[in-house]
C-alpha cells in the first residue's frame, strides 16, 4: 500500500490509492486524517437538468454539494465506492 504521505488534489491522491487497491486487492481501506490531511472530492449531487429545474438551488445550505472520501475506493472509476 502507500508507504508515504501523498500530496496533491483529491483526484491525484485518489488515483494513487485506486491503483494500489487494484494492484493489491486489500480486504479494506482505512483513511486516517480529516479533510485537512486527506482532501475530499467535491460532489454536486444534482445532475444539471435537475439543478436547472430548481427555483433556487442556493436555498439549500450546502447548495446540494457534498464532500466525500468515496473517491478513494472507487476501483472502477464509476463514481461509486465499490468495497467488498
Q: Which is nearest to 52 in space by CA: 64, 42, 41, 61?
A: 64
Q: In what helix (H) or strand (E) does residue 48 lie, and over which residues does it extend?
A: helix 48-53
Residue 53 is predicted with a pLDDT of 92
Q: Please tell me whether residue 50 adopts helix, strand or coil conformation.
A: helix
pLDDT band at 70 (very low <50, low <70, confident <90, very high): confident
pLDDT band at 77 (very low <50, low <70, confident <90, very high): low
Q: Each residue of 8-59: pLDDT tens digit?
A: 788 888 888 778 877 887 777 777 778 877 788 888 888 899 989 988 877 8
Instruction: Kindly state whether residue 34 falls inside one of the protein's structural domains.
Output: yes
Q: Could you list the residue range(s) of the whole structural domain that residue 29 is in?
A: 10-73
| pLDDT reported for residue 49 | 93
Is residue 29 assigned to a domain?
A: yes
pTM (predicted TM-score):
0.55
60 falls within a domain: yes
In a domain, 79, yes or no: no
Domain count, the chain: 1
> Under a CB-based contact definition with an 8 Å cutoff, are residues 72 and 37 in contact?
no
Residue 83 lies inside a defined structural domain of this protein: no
Amino acid at each position: 500500500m502507500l508507504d508515504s504521505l501523498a500530496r496533491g488534489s483529491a483526484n491525484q491522491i485518489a488515483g494513487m490509492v485506486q491503483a494500489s487497491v487494484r494492484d493489491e486487492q486489500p480486504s479494506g481501506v482505512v483513511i486516517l486524517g480529516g479533510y485537512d490531511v486527506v482532501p475530499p472530492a467535491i460532489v454536486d449531487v444534482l445532475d444539471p437538468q435537475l439543478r436547472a429545474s430548481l427555483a433556487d438551488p442556493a436555498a439549500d445550505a450546502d447548495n446540494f454539494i457534498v464532500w466525500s472520501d468515496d473517491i478513494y475506493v472507487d476501483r472502477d472509476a464509476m463514481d461509486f465506492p465499490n468495497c467488498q
